[in-house]
Structure 1
Amino acid sequence: MLYILLSVCCSVIVSVMLKLAKRYHVDMLQAITWNYSVAIALTWVIFRPHWVSLQSAPFANYAALGILLPSLFVILARSVRHTGIVRTDISQRLSLFIPIVAAYWIFGDQPGMLKITGIIIGFVAIFCSIPWGKSGGGSKSGFGAWLYLLIIFVGMGIIDILFKNVAAYKVIPYTTSLFIVFVLAFVVSFILLAIKIARGYTKFSFPHILIGWSLGIANFGNILFYIKAHQTLAKQPSTVFSAMNMGVIVLGTLIGLFVFKEKLSTLNKVGVFLALVSIIVITYSSY
């Protein structure tokens, strides 16, 4: 359970850093770019990816992930800034519905009534979590906040599907694929950053490298400890899955409410509770 706790803490630390970015005038594109540079280095040092022939590698999935990861990271940062840690974490964690629905429509998987019930509860949870009035940050209307949360929900779900497809491709070791994806994400974000600097929208800042590396360490720690948890509790995948998602929602909610004083309506609090119920129901139905 220690690995699960560490993974949860790393995930929430990322959200906290994104929340603090506005206060300290952090250029998120610079931070996100250097975040992937340290992810590349840590993947190389810790996972020691094995190099095999990439002739038949799933390059379409690699390319899609290389574009989606940095793009969604930017949206994630804006969502945390404008809607708060609590709502963003709920939307991110409940994106697990997307691959479940995709399994039904694309692969013909037949979900049982219990899983369908969990999905329905999850959608109600997302509906309840939306700040229909003013957001926790007070700078976005309900519609603007709703749009950020929707993009995260769908985007994270698509990323989950792509990573599952990559993991299912046994010819290339998963850690090798992960390394390639991080390289592509760094290249994409670096190109976007270079364009932004060339157009005079921002200036290169060395402190942003340090901020990005810190963000990258926390982000990579989330992945590393999650994998370690699955390896340690290989016969209890449901425990890892449910504890990880519920842990992020609970810890994120506590920090959002008591540290950043985020305002949640009664309906939003119901959404947090329903999100936890949904994860429990789906986990139980899946295993």
Structure 2
Amino acid sequence: MHNLILAILFSVSVSVLLKIARKKNIIVEQAIAFNYIVALSLSYFLLKPDFKGLEFTDYIAQSDSAPIFFALGLLLPSVFIIMSKAVEFAGIIRSDAAQRLSLFLPILAAFLIFHETLSQSKIVGILLAFIGLFCLVTKPNREQSAVNFKGIFGLVGVWFGYGIIDILFKQVAKSGGAFSATLFISFSLAACVMFIYLLLKRTQWTVPSFIGGVILGVLNFFNILFYIKAHQSFGSNPTLVFAGMNIGVISLGTITGALAFKEKISKINWLGIIFSLTAIFCLYYLDKIWA
């Protein structure tokens, strides 16, 4: 459980950094690009990826994990870009809701792809998790305008993209010790995609964005590392990790927003936190008791 808790803490730290980025003159797109350089460096020096005696390009061509790291390498930066467009055309509230409710896809995959056993306590936990999420993402209605086609496309992209990334990280966890090479290559490809995107935009590079990117890279690396380790710890219970990570981040993020940024928590948001904690109890403790 400690790996999941650490993953949640690092994920919320990433959100806090991105929230204060604008005030610190950090261009988020640049910080994301530099973040991947730091993440792949940490992957190389801390995880020591094993390329099985092959050259880097030969390993990419011959590895069974090639579909996974190619998908992650493209999706990680692409979903960020799609998220920014969704916020622009549909608003931050709808975009955040789409990201959180993408939990539906990995939960579905837990039973259809990873063949998790569906118990009574898990059914109750999943229902409570989604009720909690709906309560947590419910905000005062400040967006009266309808969503246009670009907004709908962005929201669908956010929902689908984040859901698929969660599923791919579970697949990475299943590779055991080989996950370090997959992570290293994924971060390398993501860095290439992000830097090409910024070069095409002819961005003006800034020092604060570089510094922010270094900090973001450290936080993001450990967020992903502990998330994968959590999946390895609960190999037969991916639902717990999928749901626990999602509702843990938004619950802690909501409390952090209230304490650090004076954001208001409505009664329905507090109710969502209670439902979320109850869902974790059902998915972990109650499932162990009834097993």
TM norm structure 2: 0.74
In structure 1, list runs of 5 or more residues that go unmatched: none
Q: Secondary structure at the match of 1:51?
A: coil
- Could you say if the C-alpha distance between residues 110 and 47 of structure 1 is closer, same or farther in structure 2, counting changes exceeding 3 Å? closer
Tell me, yes or no, if the aligned pair for 1:245 and 1:279 is still in contact at 8 Å. no
- Could you say if the C-alpha distance between residues 7 and 165 of structure 1 is closer, same or farther in structure 2, counting changes exceeding 3 Å? closer
What is the identity, as a one-letter code, of the residue corresponding to 2:253? G
User: Pairwise mapping of residues 119-130 of structure 1 onto structure 2 (< 5 A)?
Assistant: 119-130=126-137
- Could you say if the C-alpha distance between residues 163 and 246 of structure 1 is closer, same or farther in structure 2, counting changes exceeding 3 Å? closer
Q: CA offsets, 1:102-124, max 9 Å, x none?
A: 23334655512221222222222
What is the identity, as a one-letter code, of the residue corresponding to 2:196? I
Q: CA offsets, 1:101-157, max 9 Å, x none?
A: 12333465551222122222222222222335346xxxx56977x978876554333
What is the identity, as a one-letter code, of the residue corresponding to 2:201? K
Q: CA offsets, 1:149-202, max 9 Å, x none?
A: 8765543331121122233346x81111111111111111111111111xxxx3
User: Pairwise mapping of residues 1-287 of structure 1 onto structure 2 (< 5 A)?
Assistant: 6-52=6-52, 54=59, 55-74=62-81, 82-83=92-93, 96-106=103-113, 109-134=116-141, 154-169=160-175, 173-197=178-202, 202-225=203-226, 248-283=249-284, 284-285=286-287
Rounded to whole Å, the distance in 2 between the matches of 1:10 and 1:285 is 26
**Per-residue deviation, 1:67:** 1.7
Rounded to whole Å, the distance in 1 between the matches of 2:172 and 2:231 is 18
Identity %: 40
TM norm structure 1: 0.75
**Per-residue deviation, 1:30:** 0.6
- Could you say if the C-alpha distance between residues 64 and 71 of structure 1 is closer, same or farther in structure 2, counting changes exceeding 3 Å? same
Q: Please identify, of 34-43 and 11-20, the stretch whose mean Cα deviation from structure 2 is larger.
A: 11-20
Query: Number of paired residues?
Result: 271
Tell me, yes or no, if the aligned pair for 1:94 and 1:275 is still in contact at 8 Å. no
Q: What root-mean-square deviation, in Å, do the aligned CA atoms of Structure 1 and Structure 2 show?
A: 3.9
Tell me, yes or no, if the aligned pair for 1:133 and 1:142 is still in contact at 8 Å. no
Tell me, yes or no, if the aligned pair for 1:66 and 1:182 is still in contact at 8 Å. yes
Q: Secondary structure at the match of 1:173?
A: helix
